[in-house]
Amino acid sequence: MAVTPLDMDSIILAAHAGKLFGLIHRIAYAFVTPDLLIQRVSSNFYSALSPIQEGSCIGQPLTSILWELVGAEESLQEILDGSLPYLAFERVNRPDSNGRTTYLDLSVTKLDSSELGRGLLVALEDVTYTAEVEQRLTQNRNELALAREELLQANAQLQRLNRQKTLFLSMAAHDLRGPLSVIRNSGDLIAHIIPTDTYPKALHYLHLIDFQTNHMDWLIRDFLDLDQIEQGILTLRLMEIDMNELILKVVDLARYLAERRELSLELKLTAEPMRLEVDASRIQQALYNLLNNAVKFNRKGGQIVIESFWEGDTAVLRISDNGFGMTAEERDHAFQLYYQGNTNKELQTQGKGLGLYIVKLLVELHGGRITLESEWDKGSRFTIYLPRNP
């Protein structure tokens, strides 16, 4: 295709279009001689570099006005030689006459015109509007990243502290077991030595010692379990057992305290065989914790019902009471570690926020789940679902 030469109208139009483009995009130009002196500038050049005084640039070294080009003299020479097409620096920060930052995209390329001669064309585009948006985005991104780093550090510190705390509890629990065992054994010895018909009250006190040392033993076990669970080293010793027999054993353990509080214990156990492969001591521990809670959080003369039944292939164990119950908030956090609900004024006791957390973990280790229904002043109902084959 033959190239048709442009007529004068087209050239004039192109020149106007170029001017319009420069105005819309806020582009200022300068022409620089090969010895890097500024020879001509567009009328908006001074405002682009405000607070530079009008007319002050002509004849000045380019690097004294655009000091961003100091060090780039070699590259500028390469542009003049034609070995480098252009040089560009984006988002150059410059303070304006009000101290506000303006952002300029600076580019330099070769210009060889019949009117101006051989030299460099320097273009400055004011990109402040876009750059300010970019700055805000960068600021937000960086602040988020810093906040994330802080959170990670805080989290790591909390984990270290938690580990130390668990280690301390675990050591304390171990140390408590020795003296506790001595107390219990001494109680047993006294029971054998003292004729209880001579000292009728002694039997009552010995029962009390036995019950309380057993209770302390359970608490210590909870603390030690927590350590093992948190380290992920708690393992189950599975064996097939009769779940109803296990329930009766747990009820026997809790009976003394229930009787002291004049609570009735009602058993509704399935007549069907309930043989399950579980870690008997762990399920016993879970049931004991639930039953102990039902006793503790109940009024004198209250009622506790213990049920067992099958739902398909799932064994269901349920402990219900008509005690104090929980508020909606307490219910929502009941299985949370160290969560302590509001102390009931009638109750004068408070949980340690350990028992239910461990019960849930033990049940889940068996592949089961636990649910809680509770209403303030009406009572609570805990239901454990255990699969026939864990």
**Where does this chain bind another protein (CB under 8 A)?**
63, 67-68, 70-75, 87-93, 101, 103, 131, 134-135, 138-139, 142-143, 145-146, 149
In the bound state with another protein, the residue whose beta carbon lies nearer, of 87 and 372, is: 87
Closest distance to another protein from the beta carbon of 117 (Å)? 26
In the bound state with another protein, the residue whose beta carbon lies nearer, of 113 and 157, is: 157
Phi, psi (5° rounding) for residue 99? 85, 0
Q: Residues of 246-260 as b/e, b for ≥16 C-beta within 10 angstroms?
A: bbeebbebbeebbee
Closest distance to another protein from the beta carbon of 90 (Å)? 5
Q: Is 287 exposed, middle or buried (0-12, 13-18, 19+ CB in 10 A)?
A: buried
Joined together, the tokens standing for residue 244 give: 């109803």
Closest distance to another protein from the beta carbon of 31 (Å)? 22
Residue 18, CB-side half-sphere exposure with 13 Å CA sphere = 10
Say how far apart CA 150 and CA 143 lie, in whole Å: 10
Say how far apart CA 141 and CA 148 lie, in whole Å: 10
In the bound state with another protein, the residue whose beta carbon lies nearer, of 71 and 232, is: 71
Closest distance to another protein from the beta carbon of 87 (Å)? 8
In the bound state with another protein, the residue whose beta carbon lies nearer, of 26 and 91, is: 91
In the bound state with another protein, the residue whose beta carbon lies nearer, of 145 and 161, is: 145
| Positive/negative CA dihedral, 184, 190, 193, 195 | negative
Closest distance to another protein from the beta carbon of 82 (Å)? 18
Q: How far apart are the first and last CA of the chain?
A: 83
Phi-psi region of 104 (alpha: psi -120 to 50; beta: other; left: phi over 0): beta
SS3 212: helix
In the bound state with another protein, the residue whose beta carbon lies nearer, of 61 and 387, is: 61
In the bound state with another protein, the residue whose beta carbon lies nearer, of 54 and 134, is: 134
Closest distance to another protein from the beta carbon of 68 (Å)? 5
Closest distance to another protein from the beta carbon of 144 (Å)? 11
SS3 234: coil
